[in-house]
Amino acid sequence: MSLFDYTLRELQEKLHKKEISVTDLVEESYKRIDEVDGEVKAFLTLNKEQAMEQASQYDEERGSDDATLFGLPIGVKDNIVTKGLRTTAGSQILDNFNDPLYNATVVNKLNDAKSITIGKLNMDEFAMGSSNENSSYEGSRNPWNTDYVPGGSSGGSAAAVAAGEVPYSLGSDTGGSIRQPAAYCGVVGLKPTYGRVSRFGLIAFASSLDQIGPITRNVEDNAFLLETIAGHDHMDSTSANLEVPKYSESLTGDVKGMKIGVPKEYLGEGVAPEVKEAVQAALKKYEELGATWEEVSLPHSKYALSTYYLISSSEASANLARFDGVRYGKRAEDAETMLDMFKRSRAEGFGDEVKRRIMLGTFALSSGYYDAYYKKAQQVRTLIKNDFEKVFADYDVIIGPTTPTPAFKVGDKVDDPMTMYANDILTIPVNLAGVPGISVPCGFSEAGLPIGLQIIGKHFDEATVYRAAHAFEQATEFHKQRPSLGGAQ
């Protein structure tokens, strides 16, 4: 049995009793990475020397009042800046960004809690993708079956946890990039309310949508990690100045009287029968636990996909303008003029998907098209947000599938961008509305691949989302199953 088959609470108890050391945990992580990452390809950069030094130091400092994350190894998505540790955002244009000068706020919070960063995790380039196949390095694979994708863009973050390489990780979610890979890999992934977690030090894709969040093996671990990384940050003007609840205290297992809304749009055309069956079985489980559910409607969800790609691509075209070969990152060699250097550096540094979205966004923001596309998309975004608020006036949470299908095979959709984009159709509305959403395992397909249940809550009401997720998790066994690659089945 791997040490990482224990919960964070159990690992902390073992540390307090001195049954294990911090060094044991860090060594276990690197041992597992050596064993399986050749197949999973979750990590882009390892932090072994510094991690082992920290582990030795923390073993000497151990006390009875250590925080929940004390001495525990974590993987960090490679678009979250880490001081002195290579940060590429999965792109060749940042391939030589080996020594960042500062930490993201979430990394500083983890360091304050004395968690240990094991390394940086693979991702779709600049978080643009749903399968991890857009990484400019070799794409990650799904630990349940390495012929399949782990999802994206936080595919490395989810795969590393599912494979037992780290007990928990950080990802980022712009249109489903935490929840979708969590569903594909059979782990727990939360997108917090926009503004709940600081974005300072997150390499921006779409600033009004991006949000850092935790990926773990169970709901309680997820709550512990969010308690650590959430909170107001004066370095982020979009950070909410609200008190952070003790989310772990909301995990009572009691959902009696909870009112659940189930959008008819989330179980319609395009959702695989086995996914529908798993969600319907989950709803029956909630009935057994004392909750009630009713069908509701989010009528503007059908416009979410086009709205999202117009807004996110427009923001990406502005955010990625800073990568020009001048200050850091790739610079084209033998350029004859400064303009030629700009053009060639960006042409050589960005991949096809990033170029596609920059071009779409630049067009949508251009003179004569701004009102017709970008402004219209923002207006529809408001309608989508209003849909959620109307439902939440009568219901505690909204529940449906995280993804329309289980994971697909590597290479199956890489040449079909529109089909690939549709994989996020059930997660995108959550980002457009800015509300929190979590994915928890709720079943397996005939091929043995995980299926995810998405639970969506009101703004800044992660506590209720966690309560609903934890009650379902405790009443089922799905979260206890492990891929044979990453540990005991």
Q: Which of 218, 388, 390 is nearest to 301 (CA)?
A: 388
Which of helix, strand or coil describes residue 122?
coil
Active-site residue identified among 91, 154, 177, 198: 177
Q: Has 77 been annotated as catalytic? A: yes
Mean pLDDT by 10 residues, the chain (489 residues): 90 93 97 97 98 96 81 97 97 95 98 97 97 95 97 97 97 97 98 98 97 98 98 97 96 97 94 96 98 97 95 96 88 91 94 95 92 95 98 98 96 77 88 98 97 98 98 96 69
Q: Has 366 been annotated as catalytic? A: no
CA-CA distance, 16 to 9, in Å (whole number)? Answer: 11
Whether cis (ω within 30° of 0) applies to the bond prior to 157 is no
Long-range contact pairs involving 57-61 (C-beta distance under 8 Å, separation at least 24): 58/22, 58/114, 58/116, 59/21, 59/22, 59/23, 61/114
Q: Has 131 been annotated as catalytic? A: no
Question: DSSP readout, 168-209?
Answer: EEEEEESSSTTHHHHHHHT-EEEEPPTTSB--TTBPPS-TTT
Compute φ and ψ for 141, nearest 5 degrees: -125, 160
Task: Please give the structure tokens belonging to residue 23.
Answer: 């060094």
- Angle (CA) 319 320 325, round 5°: 135
For 137, counting Cβ atoms within 10 Å of its Cβ (0-12 exposed, 13-18 middle, 19+ buried), the class is middle
β-partners of residue 117 are 74
Active-site residue identified among 29, 115, 136, 153: 153
Helix H or strand E encompassing 349: helix 338-349
pLDDT of residue 64: 66
487: Cβ–Cβ under 8 A, 6 or more apart, which residues? 1, 2, 4, 5, 163, 164
Compute φ and ψ for 270, nearest 5 degrees: 95, -15
pLDDT of residue 486: 44
pLDDT of residue 489: 39
DSSP state for residue 148 in the 8-state scheme: B
β-partners of residue 300 are none
Active-site residue identified among 29, 41, 77, 330: 77
